[in-house]
Amino acid sequence: MKPVAVDAMGGDKGPAEIVSGARQAAEKLGVPVWLFGRPDVVDAAGPGGLEVVACSEVIEMHDDPGVSVRRKKDASVLRAAEAVRDGTASAMVSAGNTGAAMASALLRIGRIRGVHRPAIATPIPVPGSRPTVLLDAGANTECQAGWLVQFAQMGAAYARTRYGLAQPRVGLLSVGEEATKGTNLVKDAHALLADPSWNVASGGTFVGNVEGRDVMTDEVDVVVTDGFTGNVVLKTLEGGMHFVERALLEAMTATEELRAAFEVLWPAVLPLVTALDPDSYGGAMLLGVDGVCIISHGSSTANAIVNALDVAREMVTADLVGALRTAVSAPAVDPT
């Protein structure tokens, strides 16, 4: 397999964290990796034996994505995308500026033929079960009904490829189960998805509208929504989980006696904490561009990068892009 291009400069925790994750993925999992970044910075982070592709510029977390991808031609994230376009790299991973990573992939790698808009697919943890794939988690703030149908097709293809589901259950996020509930966008998308030919063509089963409370359950495999709602849902859940975890931890360690009891429970609780940690899931996948592109959380730890590289390799090997190509070429529903 060709190497995975890692944007070594991205992420809130700095290059050392990213480089450390890349090194671990190469050493422990045998994932071939190229590091894209400023050589002095990457070298200082200790790349081990990994190959470094020198780039002179960095798109910072606060940079405007549109402006910076035009001006910083030698930025690490853009160069990583170019390596995928040129076929020298098999996939790209960035934990940097999300907008810049999306723009880089879109401009350099380009869309799969027939795709209206790429979408960000994020696995939502469902402890004790497979994650639910939520998309669009933030790429497209304003959407059209036909795009949501494509998100459903791409989400189903992703769930099949990544989790081995033969016929993923796809739900449309709304405020009630009835087809008459929701915004005009949701009602229009519902009508398109409810067309029986959709199921035959797409390899997913449309289970109708789902509600916010269904996202973290095993009732549905793929949840489709516009990028505004999806991003709000994702951040609401992350914030809520984080808050409850912290409040519980404080309550359970407030005194010596409680701490002693908590230590007995900790090994039993740890798997759940790990399962709820976004770092466990390998980051979000930008579906619809003509290459495997993983956008990791800005706060990614080295462990998150290890998991992202593991998923990248898996999706390259399983030909995710080929599965997406087939999914969006399904002729049954006119996605305009």
* Separation between Cα atoms, residue 137 and residue 119, nearest integer Å: 7
Q: How far is the CA of 24 from the CAs of 90, 271, 272, in angstroms?
A: 19, 22, 24
Task: Out of 18, 103, 276, 287, point to the residue binding a copy of itself (CB under 8 A).
Answer: 276
Based on the shown chain and the rule CB under 8 A, indicate whether residue 228 belongs to the binding site for a copy of itself.
Answer: yes
Task: Out of 16, 107, 201, 216, point to the residue binding a copy of itself (CB under 8 A).
Answer: 216
Within 233-252, which residues bind a copy of itself (CB under 8 A)? 233-244, 247-248, 251-252
Burial of 268 (0-12, 13-18, 19+ CB in 10 A): exposed
Judged by CB under 8 A, which stretch of 2-10, 101-109, 111-119, 253-261 contacts a copy of itself? 253-261
Within 68-127, which residues bind a copy of itself (CB under 8 A)? 126-127
Three-class secondary structure of residue 117 per DSSP: coil
Binding mask 118-157 for a copy of itself (x = CB under 8 A): --------xxx---------x--xx---------------
Q: Are 224 and 204 in contact (CB under 8 A)?
A: no
Residue with smaller CB distance to a copy of itself, 28 or 235: 235
* Separation between Cα atoms, residue 106 and residue 85, nearest integer Å: 10
- Residue 130 C-beta: closest distance to a copy of itself, Å: 14
Query: Which uninterrupted H or E stretch holds 199?
Result: helix 196-202
Three-class secondary structure of residue 147 per DSSP: helix
204 alpha carbon, distance to own chain's centre? 20
DSSP 335: -
Peptide bond into 12 cis (omega under 30): no
Residue with smaller CB distance to a copy of itself, 21 or 171: 171
- Residue 43 C-beta: closest distance to a copy of itself, Å: 34
Q: How far is the CA of 50 from the CAs of 22, 168, 247, 277, in angstroms?
A: 8, 38, 41, 28
Judged by CB under 8 A, which stretch of 105-113, 160-168, 224-232, 305-313 contacts a copy of itself? 224-232
Based on the shown chain and the rule CB under 8 A, indicate whether residue 211 belongs to the binding site for a copy of itself.
Answer: yes
Total residue count of the chain as it appears in this document: 336
- Residue 182 C-beta: closest distance to a copy of itself, Å: 6
Strands 4-7 and 33-37: parallel
Residue with smaller CB distance to a copy of itself, 28 or 259: 259
Report the DSSP beta bridge partners of residue 286: 120
Based on the shown chain and the rule CB under 8 A, indicate whether residue 186 belongs to the binding site for a copy of itself.
Answer: yes
Q: Are 63 and 97 in contact (CB under 8 A)?
A: yes
DSSP 294: E
Give the residue from 83, 10, 3 showing the smallest Cα distance to 50.
Answer: 3
Based on the shown chain and the rule CB under 8 A, indicate whether residue 163 belongs to the binding site for a copy of itself.
Answer: no
Based on the shown chain and the rule CB under 8 A, indicate whether residue 179 belongs to the binding site for a copy of itself.
Answer: no
Residue with smaller CB distance to a copy of itself, 14 or 271: 271
Based on the shown chain and the rule CB under 8 A, indicate whether residue 66 belongs to the binding site for a copy of itself.
Answer: no
Residue with smaller CB distance to a copy of itself, 19 or 233: 233
Which residues would be at the binding site for a copy of itself (CB under 8 A)? 126-128, 138, 141-142, 173-175, 181-184, 186, 211-217, 225, 227-229, 231-244, 247-248, 251-252, 254-255, 257-258, 260-262, 264-265, 268-269, 271-272, 276
